[in-house]
Amino acid sequence: MTEMTPVTDTATAPKAVPALPDAQTVTEVKHYTDRLFSFRCTRPASMRFRSGEFVMIGLMGDPHPETGKVKPLLRAYSIASPSWDEELEFYSIKVQDGPLTSKLQHIKVGDEIILRPKPVGTLVHDALLPGKRIWFFATGTGFAPFASLLREPQTYEDYDEVIITHTCREAGELTYGRDLIEALKTDELLNEVIGEGFWKKIKYYPTTTREESPKMGRITDLMKTGEAFKDLGVPPLNPESDRAMICGNMAFNLELKDMFEEYGLVEGANSNPQHYVVEKAFLD
């Protein structure tokens, strides 16, 4: 997803080299694998969002070789931090020839990124009817919106059980999610605000498909055989008690959607809350 809006024309206005439009300052960068990193940045004082939403972020592109025009290079990114956090966090892929992430992967503390403060998205509590158990289904960087929702008090106010499944190719790709969930246990603020031991509602189910790990296989296959439900000690999803959010690659999203329709779950939206909602982790 690309937005290419010229913001300056260095050929006709060489002195007008503005600061980045909608600039925010990077405050922390962590690298997990050669394909994954996360970073935090300042948050515009007026920016409000609902945990689970995404925004457009990016960097200035290279000057056009002939006109010298410089345009922002923007991509959709789920906000990985919760709505109450005073900073913003993002969890990112590094695509070596990707127009944005070939550069974004090199950002350092103190650098500026562009952030369009207009959050949108379907992975929000408002799009779901009340239920007993919420499922978050992610592949790869699709974990990002759930990194926000797992730190959102409403998740624990609305549900008795919170199940997060994360399927990745390799074990190292699970690190960001696993560390984040582990850190909830000792997060003093959240334990005080939501209630001591709130994290006991979470059942974390990480799986890998191409490298050895304690649980191998695609979550979809593990659900079809019943193994995932047995491991988790819960029955298959049903419309009375279960609500779900999906964020992964296109094939994953479509396969889960088909399975959910068989379970009798209905897809919801902001304007029509139902049993489950879906968002792409990236465009293909």
Ligand X SMILES: Cc1cc2nc3c(=O)[nH]c(=O)nc-3n(C[C@H](O)[C@H](O)[C@H](O)COP(=O)(O)OP(=O)(O)OC[C@H]3O[C@@H](n4cnc5c(N)ncnc54)[C@H](O)[C@@H]3O)c2cc1C
88 binds, options ligand X, ligand NAP, none, Cβ within 5 to 8 A by partner type: none
Q: Is 95 in the site for ligand X (CB under 6 A)?
A: yes
Of 140, 177, 248, 268, the one binding ligand X (CB under 6 A) is 140
For tokens 């029509």, the residue is 272
Give the residues lining the site for ligand NAP (CB under 6 A): 35, 139-140, 167-170, 209-210, 218-220, 249, 251-252, 255
Tell me whether residue 241 or residue 249 sits nearer to ligand X (CB atom). Answer: 249
Provide the minimum distance between the beta carbon of 253 and ligand NAP in the complex, in angstroms, as a whole number.
8
99 binds, options ligand X, ligand NAP, none, Cβ within 5 to 8 A by partner type: ligand X
Q: Is 138 in the site for ligand X (CB under 6 A)?
A: no
Q: Is 148 in the site for ligand X (CB under 6 A)?
A: no
Tell me whether residue 35 or residue 133 sits nearer to ligand X (CB atom). Answer: 35
| Residue of 176, 180, 184, 177 lying closest to 200 (CA atoms) | 184
Q: How far apart are CA 224 and CA 202, in angstroms?
A: 22
> Both tokens of residue 201?
């509602």
Tell me whether residue 92 or residue 207 sits nearer to ligand X (CB atom). Answer: 92
Q: Is 139 in the site for ligand X (CB under 6 A)?
A: no
77 binds, options ligand X, ligand NAP, none, Cβ within 5 to 8 A by partner type: ligand X
Of 98, 172, 195, 273, the one binding ligand X (CB under 6 A) is 98
Of 1, 13, 16, 250, the one binding ligand X (CB under 6 A) is 1
Tell me whether residue 54 or residue 156 sits nearer to ligand X (CB atom). Answer: 54
Span interacting with ligand X, options 9-17, 90-98, 155-163, 212-220, rule CB under 6 A: 90-98
| Residue of 136, 184, 133 lying closest to 161 (CA atoms) | 133
169 binds, options ligand NAP, ligand X, none, Cβ within 5 to 8 A by partner type: ligand NAP
Tell me whether residue 60 or residue 194 sits nearer to ligand X (CB atom). Answer: 60
DSSP string computed for the chain: -------EETTT-TT--PPPTTEEEEEEEEEEETTEEEEEEE--TT----TT-EEEEEEE-PPPTTT-EE-EEEEEEE--S-TT-SEEEEEEE--TT-TTHHHHTT--TT-EEEEEEEEE-S-SGGGB---SEEEEEEEGGGGHHHHHHTT-HHHHHH-SEEEEEEEESSGGGGHHHHHHHHHHTT-HHHHHHT-TTGGGGEEEEEEESSS--SSBS-HHHHHHSSHHHHHHT-PPP-TTTEEEEEEE-HHHHHHHHHHHHHHT--B-BTTB-BSEEEEESS--
Of 99, 172, 195, 217, the one binding ligand X (CB under 6 A) is 99
Q: How far apart are CA 217 and CA 228, in angstroms?
A: 10
Residues in contact with ligand X, shown as a per-residue x/- string from 42 to 61 under the rule CB under 6 A: ------------x-------
Contacts to ligand X by CB under 6 A: 1, 54, 75-78, 91-93, 95, 98-102, 140-141, 144, 279-284
